[in-house]
Amino acid sequence: MDEVQIRLRVNGLERRGRVEPRLTLADFLREHCHLTGTHLGCEHGVCGACTVLLDGAAVRACLVLAVQAEGREVTTIEGLGTPENLSPVQVAFQENHGLQCGFCTPGFVVSVTALLRDNPDPTDEEIRAGLSGNICRCTGYQGIFKAVRAAAGNTP
């Protein structure tokens, strides 16, 4: 096997692993780090469920190979908040019916966190464009949209 040693930071903690070069970052997070909050839906870059931050930029963990994250900082949903201490975006999703089954939610929360960091006061159109890379089969998006509006109001 041509396994490769990698080292990266995930949610602030150093992680090492020996991986096959074709292992995706999503599988590394789920299988090696047991961080199963990063969901896998389509596995070809369309649904957004696997969105994580790589050096702060929102990316598809299903399109990034684990070896490409070598030496970099990855933030997953587990790094944004805990059940006892939800992030402002998570609180806004909870309060505005931004989720039903929750499958898409980690991807939305990660994407929205990056969106509001880069643009704390988005227009309605900017929110819609910012959400366009994530698919939700349950909510019909209105609750998600309201949650982003509310979170934008709450972001200091």
Ligand X SMILES: Cc1cc2nc3c(=O)[nH]c(=O)nc-3n(C[C@H](O)[C@H](O)[C@H](O)COP(=O)(O)OP(=O)(O)OC[C@H]3O[C@@H](n4cnc5c(N)ncnc54)[C@H](O)[C@@H]3O)c2cc1C
64 scored as a contact of ligand FES (CB under 6 A): no
Among 18, 20, 42, 55, binds ligand FES (CB under 6 A): 42
Q: Does 91 bind other proteins (CB under 8 A)?
A: no
Least distance from C-beta 155 to ligand FES, angstroms? 22
**Does residue 45 belong to the site contacting ligand X (CB under 6 A)?**
yes
- Piece of 9-17, 44-52, 85-93, 143-151 that binds other proteins (CB under 8 A): 44-52
**103 touches ligand FES by CB under 6 A:** yes
**Residue 22 lies near ligand FES (rule: CB under 6 A):** no
CA 114/CA 26 separation, integer angstroms = 18
Segment interacting with ligand FES (CB under 6 A) among 5-13, 89-97, 110-118, 131-139: 131-139
Question: 45 or 120: whose CB is closer to ligand X?
Answer: 45
46 is a site residue for ligand X (CB under 6 A): yes
Q: Which of 106, 110, 108 is nearest to 128 (CA)?
A: 108
Please report, as ranges, the residues that interact with ligand X according to CB under 6 A: 45-46
